Amino acid sequence: MTDNAFSTAAPLPRDGSDAGQTGARADAPPRRSGPLARIACVMVQPLLNRTVRKIAQNHASLFARLGAHRQTDFVIDPIELPFALHLRPDPERLIFRAVPRDALPPAGATIRGGFMLLLQLVDSDEDGDAAFFSRDLTITGDTEAVVRLRNALDDVDGSIADEAAALFGAPGRAILNRLRRSYHNHQNGV
């Protein structure tokens, strides 16, 4: 597979305004960054740090599956959130941080879609190919890196989302269950 083999999305513009609206598509321009995005990044970062450390501790083999792509910078852009996520899955220098969209790092690959779709993909509960071809998911950059990441996540036993939610006890599990019910109902038109 070659770089940009499936690239269908325009580069992430800095001045988009409607991607955060309900029903926004992954190929729509992302929401503009602002003070809210910066505050949200600061607030969510301790949760991300705790989560990524635990996942790395519990699933060290995940990094071996990535090969050279452990040094790839992934931008994961949940379109409803006021920020994107920067992941560099290098076990020696692991990065998982919230980033305002106007301060994104240069990315080897960008994965963009709805938050719950991305969460379902992490747990291999969704067909990534179907989501891509329906344009609910856009991928730009090095698609081989994205495929490696997906294959590594597919090999994880259990649910990473469940593990992350469990770190925050009953409230974390309740929030995840509510998000999943809401997503299921949305998918089924309930």
The listed range with the strongest mean pLDDT (12-26, 126-140, 144-158) is 144-158
Give the residue carrying structure tokens 């856009």: 138
Average pLDDT over residues 154-175: 90
Average pLDDT over residues 96-120: 93
Q: Classify 135 as helix, strand or coil.
A: coil
How far apart are alpha carbons 75 and 139 in whole angstroms? Answer: 10
Q: What does the pLDDT average to over 6-13?
A: 38
Short-list 52, 54, 110, 53, CA closest to 84: 110
Average pLDDT, integer, range 5-29: 44
* Whether pLDDT at 142 is above 80: yes
Q: What is the pTM assigned to this prediction?
A: 0.78
Q: Is 91 helix (H, G, I), strand (E, B) or coil?
A: coil
| pLDDT tens profile 57-102 | 999 888 889 999 999 999 999 998 999 999 999 999 999 999 999 9
Q: What is the pLDDT of residue 158?
A: 85
Average pLDDT over residues 20-45: 74
* Token representation of residue 38: 């910066």
d(CA 128, CA 150): 9
Residue 79: C-alpha distances to residues 20, 26, 50, 93, 141 (Å):
6, 7, 23, 27, 18
